[in-house]
Chains A and B, each alone.
Chain A
Amino acid sequence: MRKIYSKIESISGNVITVTATGVRYKELAVVETKYGPSLAEVIRLRHDEVALQVFNGSRGISTGDEVRFLGHPMMVSFSDNLLGRIFDGSGRPRDGGPELTDSLIEIGGPSVNPAQRIIPRRMVRTGIPMIDLFNTLVESQKLPIFSVSGEPYNELLARIALQAEVDLIILGGMGLKYDDYLFFKESLEQGGVLSRTIFFVHTASDPVVECLMVPDIALAVAEGFATRGKRVLVLLTDMTNFADAMKEIAITMEQVPSNRGYPGDLYSQLAARYEKAVDFEQAGSITILGVTTMPGDDVTHPVPDNTGYITEGQFYLRNGRIEPFGSLSRLKQLVNGKTRPDHRALMDGMIKLYASYKESLEKKAMGFKMSDWDEKLLAYGELFEREMMDLSVNIPLEAALDKGWEILAKCFEPAETGLRSDLVSQYWPTKV
């Protein structure tokens, strides 16, 4: 029989302290308030003083409210019953369905043994040429979308979720606008993939502590499925909100801030989540696509900066397009040699020409005279942006490669492209 404590010693921010014994670090408790019960997690022990962060926030908590310790850390139910369901940040149903309590697993488990990982080897097809052709997404990769708020990053995530060839999609929403949450729900429903999707959604109006739990719950479930052979895609939007929630708690706990108020362990905390991306030898995989909004479009802001050091590349979303410069998939070399012989050469060739187009564009803007070559580049750049970069383009990789040759053939002579002659003779379309 667990004891119930009925004296809360202090309330500060979302953190309360009680005097209790026999409590363990990271144990869960229930706080019974006038406005209903809330979960809370032990975040510090000091003699018999126990600090807890309250998931629902501390608003309305009275010093006389009851705190009941549950004797176990945060857990989440893990079974096939999760599929198609929607939960909030503490694992309670959001969709009016029944609460799940069977086969509970712990969240925030240990790291994968590096010796058990394998070199990633399969590409994830998305139907987006800027990804498939130029910065191929690889199974078990962790990749954030760097973007300013206002860009259509959630639309991009939803499209990838709909088209990616994976067994399972887990969406972790942090500080999501309610509209965005509904948008995800609707588009996945219409796309007919809801039955293999699990939602863990914290919306902007929910208590901030629940935001902290979302990645851990989502990834614990993902790990469960991956070790059972499933290929899981985890979408996390937006990790900047997660970092801000962490900052809030750290400041409440009077931790020494390091950079712009963020706690000193920001890197480790983010890494602990992103590093859950993995490919197992004889089981499934976890691929993580996150969104990191850059406050003020500043990539040196601590959140995108630390993220960049952790993840395996990044997609820059700017003006509704994935920028070819700056965007990078570090793992693409592992797979793009095995798709089609012209993949790598076309990828490099088209980007080099696009870079020249940018230079010509600059020259034009400065009023320099345009040569014939400049004119060709300008025509190419426009075509490239319209037929490749536009996010509405939705074609498989092979079609994208063919389209690439078509664009080149429309604008240039073969020798001008700098592509190897054996590839040109094989793929260059005959002009109509």
Chain B
Amino acid sequence: MKTINRVIGVSGNMVSVEFTGEVAMNEVCYIVTGGKKLKSEVIRVKGNVADVQVFEITKGIGVGDEVEFTGELLSVQLGPGLLGQVFDGLQNPLPQLAARCGFFLERGIYPSPLDESRQWDFTPSVNQGSKVEAGMPIGSVKEGIFNHLIMVPFYLDGTLTVKSIAGAGLYRLRDIIAEVEDEKGNLHQLTMVFSWPVKRPVKCYAERLKPSEPLITKVRIIDTFFPVAKGGTYCIPGPFGAGKTVLQQITSRNAEVDIVIVAACGERAGEVVETLKEFPELIDPKTGRSLMERTIIICNTSSMPVAAREASVYTAVTMAEYYRQMGLHVLLLADSTSRWAQAMREMSGRLEEIPGEEAFPAYLESIIAAFYERAGLVRLKNGALGSVTIGGTVSPAGGNFEEPVTQATLKVVGAFHGLSRQRSDARKYPAIHPLESWSKYPGIIDASKAEYGRSILFKGDEVDQMMKVVGEEGTSLEDYVIYLKAEFLDAVYLQQNSFDPVDSAVEPERQRYVYDFIMEVLTAELKFGSKEEARGWFNQMRQGFLDYNGKPWMSDDFKEQEQAIRRLLAEKVTASAGAGTQVSCKESAKLAENL
């Protein structure tokens, strides 16, 4: 019997539907209005009324409109051809939408996310009779620079037996390439694509491991002081204008991972456009290919319907998990998770739930935690390692970190890169606050050395605070030098010029080398006659290092500049500490020879 389901209420982007038969939570349904079918998701069921959030503008929906339930949860299509694409939060390819509808996003149009006519060169990796499990490869195709594994769909249970497998050759996405039989004797036909519900984490791996290997971002302050680990999580809260998005963009370019997924969630469209237009032109130094080939952009900007914004981070993380399953390291950058939380708040308000703090729903924390928990380093069933790292920006209201989204996020992430308005106003970029930020992951530099650098920053800050009260005159020369050392470390190491071709991305090797050099300056006993002399010398030192930072690694200019700095350093170093400098000079010369 065909069930008839009808709209009985509309409020904002929430529609109430009276239904007969069965309805599942988070099931997808379509509201038929004005000749269009509008995609929606069930978010509450009460008696025979389902409240659904509509992923489109609700204008024109009327009481009595018919609703079609699909029986499926909100899902994404997983298969070769995802890389390099630009999707909205529901995995609709935006360029294809533009080709069909022009300038504006028309509602009710859902093109296929993957190119179904394209042929892929398939190579099987199992034989008839092989035993496989969900998430294990049965073959592969070449997707750009990657070996894209064609896997047993994640939803199949138990051990499966391969009954037939296609030979090497060209196949379309929907061609049947294998047949497998499950333990109950049911036969499943497999293609190169399958769908997976976005809100269910993929768990087809052998075990989850502790993230320990640093994920290189080539941003000095992150790699050295507040590292991120492959499979870890981190967050970047900051007031508007502090450079969250720029930092994310830099990371998406330079991070040493296989695949980057950018989820532009409820932010400006203009920023996505920059990524969209620039990435195809940029060359990844590691592969020599366009950066776009390793990137997927999920883009649900602030003016697009808010329910789809809520879905977009899940769409992104599901794709990340899919590529992790191939033994790849994936970085997911979500900008901004506050907009995602606000989307939840809007829906919660429409549902007339009892509000929590700042009207965010009471379940905010558990949802944020569950999202970040989908990151992780895993050992797959074939022994290979894969990881999903999640970095989310947070846009706290009024720049105040005491708000619910920032606090809920801080509880679950492994590193915190707090951006400060003070630093961005002073044009100190990246504006990560060196005293407030933290990381629980091991970095690329010996922890004790990094700790020493931070202790100088802390002491320098103390002196600075004191100087504000007693003035420069009332500060001892000793303290003043500590202050200058802290300022020096900040200027030449923590700050980084993202417009400079050399300084914008610093390899870990160079970071270690330069940091050791800076440690020599920080630990040196310096002799000054007066504060003016000290200030003058540190100004020269700073200028020397800034030039040094702009020289290509181990070029003649680089070495020359280093010698110039060493001469300057030797002028002020007292005898006892000078000996130490001599030793490390030799060490660095040795290092240079080895290279």
Chain A residues in the interface with B (C-beta under 8 A): 21-27, 43-48, 73, 108-120, 140, 227, 255-259, 263-265, 267-268, 271-272, 274-276, 278, 280, 283, 299-300, 302, 305-306, 308-310, 312-313, 325-326, 328, 330-331
Contacts and interface: CB of A to CB of B under 8 A. Distances in A.
B94 A113 contact: yes
Interface string B73-106: 0000000000000100000001101100111111
Given A111-B304, A300-B400, A119 B274 contact: yes
B104 A113 contact: yes
Contacts of B272: 114
B59 interface: yes
- Identify which of B240, B266, B273, B349 gathers the most chain A CB atoms within 10 Å of its CB: B240
Contacts of B33: 24
Contacts of A263: 349
Given A26-B59, A310-B268, 13 more contacts: A24-B33, A24-B60, A27-B60, A43-B11, A113-B97, A113-B102, A115-B86, A118-B277, A258-B355, A264-B346, A275-B301, A300-B398, A300-B399
Contacts of A312: 268, 270
B530 interface: no
B342 A267 contact: yes
15 contacts: A22-B62, A22-B64, A23-B62, A24-B62, A26-B60, A110-B57, A110-B105, A113-B105, A114-B273, A117-B269, A119-B273, A227-B103, A275-B269, A275-B303, A308-B241
B85 to A, nearest CB: 11
A274 B103 CA distance: 17
Contacts of B358: 258-259
Interface residues of B, number: 63
A111 B268 CA distance: 12
Contacts of B395: 309
- Identify which of A44, A117, A263, A313 gathers the most chain B CB atoms within 10 Å of its CB: A117
Interface string B497-523: 000000000000000000000000000
Contacts of B276: 114-115
Interface of B: 8-12, 16, 33, 57-64, 86, 94-95, 97-98, 101-107, 239-241, 266, 268-270, 272-274, 276-277, 299, 301-304, 306, 339, 342-343, 345-346, 348-349, 352, 355, 358-360, 395, 397-400, 425
B359 A116 contact: no
B279 to A, nearest CB: 12
A301 to B, nearest CB: 8
B249 to A, nearest CB: 13
Contacts of A257: 359
B306 A120 contact: no
Given A114-B269, A114-B276, A268 B98 contact: no
Given A46-B8, A271-B303, A115 B398 contact: no
A264 B342 contact: yes
A345 B106 CA distance: 45
The 4 closest A-B pairs by CB, nearest first: A300-B398, A271-B302, A275-B303, A258-B359
Contacts of A275: 268-269, 301-303
A247 to B, nearest CB: 13
Contact of B301 (A114, A308, A326): A114
